Amino acid sequence: MIGAICGDIVGSVYEFDNIRYKEFPLFAEDSEFTDDSVLTVATMDALLHGIGYAETYKKWFLRYPGAGYGGKFLLWGLGDTLTPYNSFGNGSAMRVSPIGLWYSTLEETLAVASASAEATHNHPEGIKGAEATATAIFLARSGTDKTGIKDQISKQFGYDLLESVDSIRSWYEFDETCQGTVPQAIICFLESNDFEDAIRNAISIGGDSDTLACIAGGIAEAFYGIPREIEEETYKRLPEEMREIVRAFYNAVAERKMAP
């Protein structure tokens, strides 16, 4: 989703230079896509063309091997096998957003989110993070209000979503796990006023900024939509082959909605 990609790009300059406030330029001169965007596009590619997730993730990794992947994924991408490595890192959640838009039922969404995670992150927490993120997006785009999203995610996945953004900001540190990223990103969405505010919330708590904003941005887009000027600036910062996949994905989503 372009909202997830936007969050990644905005957060890219703060991942290793955290800030704890919301008043910052949304796009800096050196804001750029990272592995979060590459693998989100890869998920779109897999959905569009019916390719296996592991195969597609490795294909896109090899196109952009310097995009800032985690150490275990980097080794997997450079290796000769497609065998998953039992990770519970937040990579499974940051790339899953397109699945939340693609399917017409929550059951399908959950099954495919799980399959996308299992390509690499086959630890139960890695799978849960992807499922929870995709579920939040599915509910948001289906008209469920924030209370309904919060209650279902808490009940279904056991995430504590009661803490405020202000409280998280006071103690949160860099955490690359699903269990230490996904709940916080969802809270940043729940406490937001619009798409941009969700991104600013996510950046302002510190931590793994690009991935937090990527996850929050996907949910926020599904709930609010994305302002045209922010969408256009996001597209400008992607290479043409990635823009083509994103546009083809949205066209296909629109066609699926119109199908009987």
What is the percent of the chain with per-residue pLDDT over 70, rounded to a whole number? 99
Q: Is the pLDDT of residue 259 over 80?
A: no
Cα distances from 193 to residues 3, 149, 197, 200, 223, in angstroms, run 15, 15, 6, 11, 11
| pLDDT score, position 236 | 97
Q: Greatest CA span in the chain, whole angstroms?
A: 50
Within 95-164, residue ranges assigned H as helices are: 97-102, 106-118, 124-141, 146-157
Domain ranges of the chain: 2-24+34-258
CATH code for residues 2-24+34-258: 1.10.4080.10
pLDDT in tens, 131-146: 999 999 999 999 999 9
Within the chain, residue ranges assigned H as helices are: 2-11, 35-49, 53-63, 71-78, 91-94, 97-102, 106-118, 124-141, 146-157, 165-171, 182-190, 195-204, 209-224, 228-236, 240-258
| pLDDT score, position 241 | 97
pLDDT in tens, 163-210: 999 999 999 999 999 999 999 999 999 999 999 999 999 999 999 999
| pLDDT score, position 257 | 79
| pLDDT score, position 256 | 85
Determine the Cα–Cα distance for residues 123 and 125; give it in Å rounded to an integer: 5
Residues 2 and 226 sit within 8 Å (Cβ to Cβ): yes
pLDDT band at 226 (very low <50, low <70, confident <90, very high): very high
Q: Is the pLDDT of residue 260 over 80?
A: no
pLDDT in tens, 21-68: 999 999 999 999 999 999 999 999 999 999 999 999 999 999 999 999
Structure tokens at 59: 């294909």
Determine the Cα–Cα distance for residues 43 and 93; give it in Å rounded to an integer: 11
Residues 152 and 144 sit within 8 Å (Cβ to Cβ): yes
Its pTM stands at 0.97
